[in-house]
A and B are shown apart, each in its own frame.
Chain A
């Protein structure tokens, strides 16, 4: 069985400070890992994903994430947060053994960036 944990319900950060949203996972086999962002009353927007290769993945809007196999983590980071980054962030995992497209989503982390 696969699972994803986002240990923080909410992350508060001041504009201009670094932003980190944590994600840990558990899967059988190698994982495919994704980050999505959701603004109020909108659908999920794809930010980035890890499939294989370089552990540091760069994505949209200045976000990046680092895959750490030993710690089974895939934390999302942004060097300098903007107020417009305030949104709900979801980490998702899919196992390489999964034969079709089902994601296992984390519970989500609300990011609040204050001016």
Chain B
């Protein structure tokens, strides 16, 4: 089973709201990722967790706060977002997070609209 699930599918929030995106995988993977994708553009890496520790933070604004409660779950907490943060947010997972020939498996994404 190569499935990564994400909730919610769609989210509309105001600039003063606090919300969270959730991601789950049951493939036994030890690395999980958050990406941001604008329409018709490639995904941009935001965060990487490997063995539940934050490995990579691609200089993302502090209004985005990741959390990895365990190796199967990944959250992205959102606070005081800007309209330009509206995008498709993708979660992915991979076996180890060590790069090389490792495949990343993506979830369906959460479509976020910030008003």
Contacts and interface: CB of A to CB of B under 8 A. Distances in A.
Contacts of A41: 88, 109, 111
Interface residues of B, number: 32
A51 B101 CA distance: 6
Interface residues of A, number: 27
A30 to B, nearest CB: 10
A96 B4 CA distance: 26
Contacts of B92: 43-44
A8 B42 CA distance: 14
Interface string B79-100: 0000000001010101001111
A72 interface: no
B107 A43 contact: yes
Most buried by B among A41, A101, A103, A108: A101
Contact of A49 (B40, B42, B99, B103): B103
Interface string A48-75: 0101100000000000000000000000
Interface string B38-64: 001111010010100001100000000
Nearest to B10: A41
Interface of A: 32, 34, 36, 41-46, 49, 51-52, 88, 90, 94, 96, 98-103, 105-108, 110
